[in-house]
Amino acid sequence: MHRVKKPTATLSSMSLSLAASIVMATLAIPLASMAAGADPKAASGNWPHWRGPTGNGVSLDADPPLKWSPEDGIAWKTAIPGRGSASPVVWESRVFVATAVKLEGSAELVPHRFVLLALDRATGKVLWERVAIEATPREGHHSDHGFASASPFTDGERVYAYFGSRGLFAFTLAGEPAWHRTDFGTMTTRGTFGEGSSPTLHGDSIIVPWDHEGPSYITAIDRHTGKTLWKTDRDETSSWGTPLVAEHSGKLQVITTGEKFARGYDFASGRELWRCTGQTGRPVASPVAGHGVAIIGSGFRGAFLGAFRLDGKGDLKGTENVAWSLSKHTPDIPSPLLSGTRVYFFAGRNGILSCHDVSSGKPYYTALRVEGLGNVYASPVAASGRVYLTARDGTTVTIEDGDELKILAKSSVGEPVDATPALAGKDVFIRGEKHLFAIRR
């Protein structure tokens, strides 16, 4: 079991001081693509979740830069202490990022501080940093990542930091603790890959996934109080996808991936509405949804991607409610992107891209190598007629959001990147291995 302490207001002197780390020198979508009818306020200039305001990886109104380099276009970069691959999120004048800071020794299973930081959007100055909890993790993580892989999220009133077995923590935008939950359980992940699923937020509900090698479940938490609204058991093993809330025929569904089944749940009650087999082992990619279907895929030691009609009921296998499916070139770690009627996805975690029509499955192009793009963990994102594809070496290739693969620009922050970029207003925010970068028009 891990040791825990109550949330504290500030980092002690044992953590890195970020104030001296700030370096000032150098990070038109149809409404039908909106998975859950995004709040217009959340969409305007903001990126409140690592999957963006729609949940599909799209900004509704951003017009970010086309290209940048370490020498040109980076407005600021700020050192982030510790380690993590949590993606940044943006609300108005603030950018939020989560990390885990080791307190002692070289081993992994030692005490860590699990930290949420708020940075000034204009300058990169750290406005506040809060220790959500101090804990010693019970098990390790994949060598590519740390103990802070789940991304924060915000509703404009509070910002929420989720650290899996360490808990869920709500803060005001000024950094004051609001509530916390540390009673979800202790995960045991396959292969000791570590924890990484991020919750999602819609209305007054925070949807928390809990798939692991023990009793799995999905639960809805009241965003105001942290109290449980509903909890539904799942006969699933380890998975790392983020749930998606999708609207169909005036009703909301929670869409999830899973090794055994892709599923849809009633948003209000948690009752399972439909399921379908076909996913591969240890699914990571998160769903997207729009135009009446949910797209769910996986690509580890196999390949499957299915388009499931949201009005289906029960077991969809072999029925017309599986609108179309693929058994090649499907995504592993990066999630698909749904922009308008086009769904984009990588083959596995390589820079090999496909683009299909969301309703019919018609391929616009299939398994094309994106020149200059290598191994990829970050999910593709889109805004203003452009798609941004970011590789692990820090390269971003910008392509046209269209029916043909057309490369528009190639950029880099000069640092490895695993987190998904945030597109907000005229800005791109990229969390690298050591820094948070702001790229600005």
**pLDDT tens figures, 165-186:** 999 999 999 999 999 999 999 9
- Provide the token pair at 93: 């004048």
pTM beyond 0.75: yes
Express each pLDDT in 223-274 by its tens digit: 999 999 999 999 999 999 999 999 999 999 999 999 999 999 999 999 999 9
Q: Which helix (H) or strand (E) holds 244?
A: strand 244-248
**Interacting residues of 278 by C-beta distance below 8 A, sequence separation 6+:** 262, 304, 306, 317, 325
Burial class (CB within 10 angstroms; exposed 0-12, middle 13-18, buried 19+) of 386:
buried
Nearest Cα residue to 240 out of 189, 200, 276: 189
Residue 144 has what pLDDT? 72
DSSP state of 199: P
- Provide the token pair at 251: 């009703």
Distance CA(5)–CA(62), nearest Å, equals 40
Res. 14: pLDDT tops 90:
no
**Interacting residues of 431 by C-beta distance below 8 A, sequence separation 6+:** 27, 80, 85, 86, 87, 88, 97, 417, 419, 437
**Interacting residues of 407 by C-beta distance below 8 A, sequence separation 6+:** 370, 371, 372, 397, 398, 399
Res. 15: pLDDT tops 70:
no
| Domains of the chain: residue spans and CATH | 19-440 (2.130.10.10)
Nearest Cα residue to 275 out of 232, 212, 326: 232
Mean pLDDT of 419-435: 97
Note whether 405 and 72 are within 8 A (CB): no
> Beta strand 272-276 with 314-315: parallel, antiparallel or unpaired?
parallel
DSSP string, 298-356: E-SSS-EEEEEETT--EE-TTSTTEEEEESSS-BSSSPPEEETTEEEEESBTSSEEEEE
Beta strands in 103-197 (DSSP E): 112-120, 126-135, 153-154, 158-162, 168-172, 177-181
Note whether 171 and 158 are within 8 A (CB): yes
Residue 372 has what pLDDT? 94
- Provide the token pair at 199: 């919750």
- % of the chain exceeding 70 in pLDDT: 89
Express each pLDDT in 190-206 by its tens digit: 877 888 899 999 999 99
Distance CA(352)–CA(96), nearest Å, equals 31
Mean pLDDT of 310-330: 97
Q: Please state, rounded to an integer, the average pLDDT across all residues of the chain.
A: 90
Express each pLDDT in 79-111 by its tens digit: 999 988 999 999 999 999 999 999 977 777 889
Read off φ and ψ for residue 70, nearest 5 degrees. Answer: -60, -25
Res. 150: pLDDT tops 70:
yes
In which band, very low, low, confident or very high, does the pLDDT at 355 lie, cut at 50, 70 and 90?
Answer: very high
Distance CA(309)–CA(361), nearest Å, equals 13
Note whether 284 and 332 are within 8 A (CB): yes
